[in-house]
């Protein structure tokens, strides 16, 4: 549905976030029998699934006495405020005021445009009240692919969203931060052959590490014979990042072949700003087990979660130090090329 957008309120002031695009608001699995409160791009939002199974998102505020609608209940017809019982439908229109026959004409709350697909709930944040989606939300086929199984989680970060972008676009840190999971020899990671391309709103990074020792997560999930040839393919878009990593037995094929076999980990990383200084990080990991499918999936998901726990600790500590030493310059090194391209894209979109 194409409907008005509460983010129109942001047009009178500058925003640190690109608008007129889809952001991930929730996993489908998070929407059960209660409304979900979430701040997205500085906007309080309530997300809920109605009794017919459709997902809606509204400004999280009753127009009567300002109680968050997320404190209400999901009923036939929509979402009922938990203070005085006003009932709102998925378009934000008040359908009922208990105790009086007439509903005031102005009794409504701003709705958001929502699209649910691939187990993901995307929300359109427009720059103006009449902004309508100009593209469909991103499609992620590996959530419904016969060769893959997946799991994931959502994290809250006390750090700006672009620091998470920086981390994901620079996988050289794996050899130092993730020694127990997906890391490996730090020298190999720092000296990996890297190709970086930027076009439009997209940045792609390819890294190759031939004849590498497989890290613990890889050997726990796949029967490698010994050394492996590793790849890391990263695709950045402003609202999400896709990271395809994996390995094949060393010398068994071309590591640059898109149809390469071996062990695959396909990660989807949707970083949605909560505020200027905090973020929601939605991640999933899809993998291709050859045996013991469920057990391997759980192992890969658990190892990935442990990896992201390590990243979260690093990024939040980094941001704390950045605030303590505000204004101090930071130098760039060769591994920062992809992240710098991404920051330029975000800066351009915010200016537009």
Provide the strand spans (E) within 106-157: 113-117, 120-125, 149-157
Is 1 a residue whose pLDDT tops 50? no
> What pLDDT does 7 receive?
46
> What pLDDT does 167 receive?
94
> What pLDDT does 236 receive?
97
> What pLDDT does 14 receive?
54
Is 278 a residue whose pLDDT tops 80? yes
C-alpha angle 286-40-6 in degrees, rounded to nearest 5? 130
Mean of per-residue pLDDT scores for the chain: 91
Assess contact for 110 and 88: CB atoms under 8 A: no
State the average pLDDT over residues 51-80.
97
Cα–Cα distance list, 204 to 25, 81, 165, 201, 216 (Å): 25, 46, 13, 10, 26
> What pLDDT does 129 receive?
72
Phi and psi angles of residue 55, each rounded to the nearest 5 degrees, phi first: -100, 140
Is 10 a residue whose pLDDT tops 50? no
Please give the domain boundaries of the chain with CATH numbers for all domains: 6-125 (2.102.10.10), 141-351 (3.90.380.10)
The pLDDT tens digits for 197-214 are 999 999 999 999 899 998
Provide the strand spans (E) within 200-239: 202-212, 228-237
> What pLDDT does 9 receive?
44
């Amino acid at each position: 549905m194409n409907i008005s957008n509460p983010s129109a309120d942001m047009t009178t002031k500058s925003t640190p976030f690109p608008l007129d695009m889809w952001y991930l608001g929730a996993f489908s699995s998070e929407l059960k029998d209660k409304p979900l409160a979430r701040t997205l791009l500085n906007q309080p939002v309530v997300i809920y699934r109605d009794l017919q199974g459709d997902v809606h998102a509204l400004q999280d505020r009753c127009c009567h006495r300002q109680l968050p609608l997320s404190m209400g209940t999901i009923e036939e017809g929509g979402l009922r405020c938990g203070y005085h019982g006003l009932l709102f439908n998925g378009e934000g229109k008040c359908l009922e005021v208990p105790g009086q026959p007439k509903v005031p004409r102005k009794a409504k709350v701003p709705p958001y445009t929502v699209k649910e697909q691939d187990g993901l709930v995307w929300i359109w944040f427009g720059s103006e009240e009449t902004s309508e989606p100009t593209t469909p939300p991103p499609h992620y086929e590996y959530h419904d692919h016969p060769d893959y199984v997946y799991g994931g989680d959502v994290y809250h970060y006390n750090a700006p969203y672009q620091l998470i972008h920086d981390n994901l676009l620079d996988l050289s840190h794996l050899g130092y931060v993730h020694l127990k999971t997906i890391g490996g020899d730090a020298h190999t990671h720092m000296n990996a052959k890297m190709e970086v391309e930027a076009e439009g709103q997209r940045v792609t990074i390819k890294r190759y590490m031939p004849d590498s020792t497989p890290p613990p997560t890889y050997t726990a999930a796949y029967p490698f014979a010994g050394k492996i040839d590793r790849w890391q393919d990263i695709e950045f878009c402003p609202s999400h990042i896709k990271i395809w990593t994996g390995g094949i037995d060393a010398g068994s094929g071309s590591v640059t072949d898109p149809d390469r076999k071996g062990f695959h980990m396909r990660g989807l990383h949707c970083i949605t700003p909560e505020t200027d200084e905090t973020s929601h990080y939605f991640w999933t990991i899809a993998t291709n087990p050859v045996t013991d499918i469920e057990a391997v999936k759980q192992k890969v998901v658990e190892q990935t979660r442990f990896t992201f726990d390590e990243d979260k600790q690093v990024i939040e500590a980094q941001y704390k130090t950045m605030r303590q030493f505000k204004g101090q310059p930071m130098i760039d090194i060769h591994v920062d090329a992809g992240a710098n391209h991404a920051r330029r894209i975000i800066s351009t979109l915010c200016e537009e």
